[in-house]
Amino acid sequence: MQITIGENTLELLIGDITKQATDAIVNAANGSLMGGGGVDGAIHKAAGQELLQACRRLRKEQLNEEPLGTGEAVITPGFKLPASYVIHTVGPIWNTHNPIQDIQLADCYQNSFKLAKEYKLTSISFPSISTGVYRFPIERAAKIAMRTITNYLQTVDFGQVRMVLFSETDFTVYKSALRNIICSSS
């Protein structure tokens, strides 16, 4: 599914984020930036050992050995990936008692866009942030992601945004969220 928003293109697809040849791919990272499971592990594996080394340097030089905070984003080269850069962002771990987790999830997308603009990138691929091992409900995450991305694209000439989804089920949820946003803004 592909739509045009201003001068921008938003595409939803089922695929492997490590195969995307956009300027950047977004890594749903953990705060340590040392790799992990799911999307994070797949990106680290595909990018090669240099990505882990770059993340270690970044933690030491930019983060004073502290973990990256929820909703924040940092950037590294893509190394062996088709994408030139990897933007690492830490999504919220689902918790029914966290009143700001929706804001934190939106921040993941907004701060990734902020870095992309800072680096003059014109294409980016996002995964479904926080919906794997972090257990954020996918319907809720899809609404937040699609609203945040479409709002951004309505205000900025960016280029191409891909939402790369893992399964047909995830694709269907995101497609429905996007259609609801389109219909409610018409």
Give catalytic residue positions: 40
C-alpha 34/C-alpha 99 separation (Å) is 28
| Torsion sign (Cα): 176, 177, 181, 182 | negative
Task: Show the 3-state SS of 54-95.
Answer: HHHHHHHHCCCCCCCCECCEEEEECCCCCCCEEEEEECCCCC
Q: Which residue has the tokens 């040849």?
A: 21
DSSP at 142: H
For residue 19, give both structure tokens: 């195969």
Cα–Cα–Cα angle for 6, 10, 12, rounded to 5 degrees: 160
| Torsion sign (Cα): 70, 73, 76, 78 | positive
